[in-house]
Amino acid sequence: MNRVYFDTNIFEDIVKKVIDINTNELNGFTNIAYYISTAHVEEYFIATKNDSENKYTQYNYDRKLLMSSLKLKGILNPSKTRIMNKPEKFDDCLARVKQFDTTDIMVRKGKKLHQEQTGFFKELLLANPDAQNNSNLDAKEIWNKYEVKRILAKFPDYLNENNAALFQELQYVYGTQVALKLAPSKKLTPFEIKKGCFKEISNQYPLMEIIFEFLHSTLNKCGYNRDKKDSTVISGIYDTTHSIYGTYCNYFVSSDERLRKRISAIYYYLGVPTKVITFNEFLNVADKLK
């Protein structure tokens, strides 16, 4: 049985009829086990929350219906250790997401990341104009670039900055008392990021989260299939989360070529066995019921 994780854009393309397939056909594949995550539910919540004029009510409903109608093996959730597959309904997960709304934090974080990445890449181009061709490199070659290695060496500082901001973020979502209890257990210990370390971090979700975030940011800073617009960087935070949950499965399926190349590079560097593919490639893997 092949575990499959669809990026949000796959669900969007199916609803928009860009991808011509229906729920019955998707559920008819005998060798496919589908998984979604809290990230899918959070993105749905944000879409409905931002639709104050109800312009996309039907579209959002159809997207939710599609995700809910798949023969899901569960909804992937974070935990203190590894990714946890929780046998819960979409609406139960949605209720929890609404209770702990992190939208404002995501927006602030997205804008900050965009400014840092754009500023770094502009300076990089001034010093090395050839960096504009970094996207042409493959998943292995990009990690040999000097500018990438220079950023990777700064991971300890990145981790310390994350620890410093941790209490404030927890306080915003859960309140002071809960934040005081949670912060000590969520504080990350020093870690040396290195090639092939996925097995070492796969049972430490909080560490995996910060490492994936750092690697996505590193590739964006160096112009490797980077997010160019402020809005895409905000959604790019969820791209990072999806890429983490994708490690639970055999296949990560996305319509976004830039994202596929970036995640493929990160999976290669960390030693994640998950394959990053297009929807057409997914159809080649799937086996229809006769």
pTM of the model as a whole? 0.93
How many other C-beta atoms lie within 10 A of the C-beta of residue 211?
24
- Residue whose C-alpha is closest to residue 41's, from 97, 116, 109, 111: 97
Specify if 290 maps to a domain: no
Please indicate whether residue 34 or residue 80 has the higher confidence score (pLDDT): 34
Specify if 35 maps to a domain: yes
Side-chain-side CA neighbours of 136 within 13 Å: the count stands at 4
Domain range enclosing 232: 2-285
Specify if 250 maps to a domain: yes
Specify if 149 maps to a domain: yes
Mean pLDDT throughout 202-229? 92
Question: CA 279 to CA 196: how far, in whole Å?
Answer: 27
Token duo for residue 181: 């209890």
Token duo for residue 174: 């859960």
pLDDT on residue 231 = 60
Beta bridge partners of 75: 36, 86
Region of poorest pLDDT, from 29-38, 76-85, 174-183:
174-183
Helices (H), the chain: 8-15, 23-27, 38-50, 57-69, 90-99, 103-127, 146-152, 155-174, 176-186, 198-201, 205-221, 230-245, 257-270, 279-285
Share of the chain above pLDDT 70, in %: 97
The answer to whether 243 and 212 are in contact (CB under 8 A) is yes
Token duo for residue 193: 């990021």
User: What is the tally of structural domains in the chain?
Assistant: 1
